[in-house]
Amino acid sequence: MTLRIAVTGATSDFARAILPGLLDDDDVESVVGIARRRTPLVHPKLQSVRSDIRSPEMEHIFRGCDVVVHLAFVVEELRDKRTTHDINQRGSRNVLDSAYRAGVRRMVIASSINAYGPDIHDEPLTEKDYPAGDPDRYYFHDKAEVEHYAEWWLRRHPGEMAVSMLRPTYIIGPDFSNDGIDQFTSTIGAFPQADRASYQFLHQHDLADAFHRAVKQDLDGPYNVGPRDWTGVRELAAMQGQKLFDVPERAAVVAANIAFRLGLTPFSGQWVTAGEPVVDSTALHTATGWSPTLTSRECAAIMILLQGRPILLPEYALERDAACEAALAPASAVVGVAAGEHVQLRTPDGSVHCELHRGGGRRTIVLPARPGSHARYCTPLAVELRERGYDVVAVDPPGHGLSTGPRGRVDQAQFDRAVTEAVEYARRTFGGPISIVVDEGSRSPSPDDPLVPKRVRGRVSVATYISARTIDDVIAHIGPAGAATSQAASSAPQTIRG
């Protein structure tokens, strides 16, 4: 099976999440990326076409394509709602009709759970619940209207072209940045019905997986796309120490409308809601086998961390490997490697994140990251050491990386307690002699990495630990991984002064 796929809205955040997986698929021959601007992504399979989805040339662009993925939609609020509705509704109708006339076999439309409307419900909604939208909220209304047209079209053309509508919950990830995420992670939050308001946060990798599956099989009708759990806004506030206020919805809408008219905020009262409806995504799992790899709670923590905000409470620290790697993705792209297992160690100061590399040798090395950095920048050295047979435990200082605590705040006592806890964990896990080594040759942290604190508060010295720039420096200090050691050497960590 070889597929030629057309993707509208190819410069959107959705496209940034979805396109890489399609382009890496051997079953995909080529992708036509359609947007009003040229797509910045460069790939030998990708052809960039500049066009408006309302244009009659859509039919010509779609000819020869097997699948159309429709992502183009006005999300960021425009003052001109007539233009907004024209792009969203007439443009979407044109995409569907043009795809059919061009002989496309399958179409996947990016809808939203906002098509259900803004009301909170006591039970999770399923595809059997009607997408009522909300005529007073342009985004909710337009998503519902596009679905209504697609459903009408399917009844008029049974079996002629598969048309599915995927309804994602709230998307987070390194490619997603918007006013909503800024509000979720601000130091002060305000929500109507704060005791009831909740969201289902979904990682962009899980979103991309859902679209990828829909592209490769015939599906008709709507499908919810969300995690099994949900996160209340009060819990979200507790995770990061946000001050949260419960505000009357009507007053909040009026205030947002005034601020929008005055140009003080990028959104009006049309976006002020008491959370979002919770949905059940069983239908998509049954049809395609799709399941989310991350929970809403994990995604909430990732969102907070990717915004440079702290996770303050140990119970919210990321633990599962998949969640940790999702949060570390920007740093992994910088160092060029993603490896290791992840553990969280409880200390009097909170939770300390460690990255484990099992080399199966008789020596263990604890690699504490310097303040101002985090353990992922030690991963290249850790991988080299593992390949030489060393067991390695890389450590995030408190307030850094995936460890809890105010961002960048760590003093000598906190740092030493974190290292001591990592040494004790290494002794319990691996046994044998343990050496503490500071990686002086690691890559400088990227200023664009949100897990690197903008400022380090506190003075920490690492002069009591071994200092090394290369793996040869490490071996010169502590010897090869399989070397025999005395009982005395194995009873305490080596803290040779550099």
**Can you spell out the DSSP letters for 319-382?**
-SHHHHHHHHHHHHHHHT----EEEEEEETTEEEEEEEE---SS-EEEEEPPTTS-GGGGHHHH
Residue pair 498/438 in contact (Cβ under 8 Å)? The answer is yes
Structure tokens at 288: 């395609």
Tell me what the mean pLDDT of segment 162-181 comes to.
96
Q: State the CATH number of the domain containing residue 446.
A: 3.40.50
Residue 494 pLDDT exceeds 70: no
Higher per-residue pLDDT: 110 or 122? 110
Structure tokens at 481: 């991984």
Residue 496 pLDDT exceeds 50: no
Residue 293 lies in a domain: yes
Q: Are residues 299 and 328 in the same domain?
A: no
d(CA 344, CA 301): 14
Residue 309 lies in a domain: no
- Among the candidates 303, 328, 345, a domain finishes at 303
Residue 496 lies in a domain: no
Tell me what the mean pLDDT of segment 373-381 comes to.
95
Q: Are residues 323 and 233 in the same domain?
A: no
Residue 164 lies in a domain: yes
Residue 61 lies in a domain: yes
Domain that holds residue 387: 318-490
Tell me what the mean pLDDT of segment 451-462 comes to.
91
Residue 333 lies in a domain: yes
- pLDDT of 146 reads 98
Number of domains in the chain: 2
Residue 497: pLDDT band by 50, 70, 90 thresholds? Answer: very low
Q: How much of the chain, in percent, has pLDDT values that exceed 70?
A: 97
Q: Are residues 482 and 404 in the same domain?
A: yes
Q: Are residues 142 and 227 in the same domain?
A: yes
Number of H helices, E strands in the chain: 16, 19
- pLDDT tens-digit map of 412-440: 999 999 999 999 999 999 988 999 999 98
- pLDDT tens-digit map of 340-375: 999 999 999 999 999 999 998 789 999 999 999 999
Residue pair 471/384 in contact (Cβ under 8 Å)? The answer is yes
- Among the candidates 278, 303, 328, a domain finishes at 303
Q: Are residues 342 and 462 in the same domain?
A: yes
d(CA 465, CA 297): 37
Q: Are residues 177 and 108 in the same domain?
A: yes
Residue 311 lies in a domain: no
Q: Are residues 326 and 367 in the same domain?
A: yes
Q: Which of 80-94, 282-296, 433-447 has the lowest mean pLDDT?
A: 433-447
Q: Are residues 345 and 204 in the same domain?
A: no
Q: Are residues 277 and 377 in the same domain?
A: no
Residue 81 lies in a domain: yes
Distance of CA 404 to the CA centre of its chain: 19
- pLDDT of 481 reads 78
Amino acid at 95: V
Q: Are residues 48 and 158 in the same domain?
A: yes
Tell me what the mean pLDDT of segment 36-46 comes to.
94
Residue 498 pLDDT exceeds 60: no
Tell me what the mean pLDDT of segment 229-258 comes to.
95
d(CA 151, CA 145): 10
- Among the candidates 241, 269, 303, a domain finishes at 303
Q: State the CATH number of the domain containing residue 67.
A: 3.40.50.720
d(CA 292, CA 282): 11
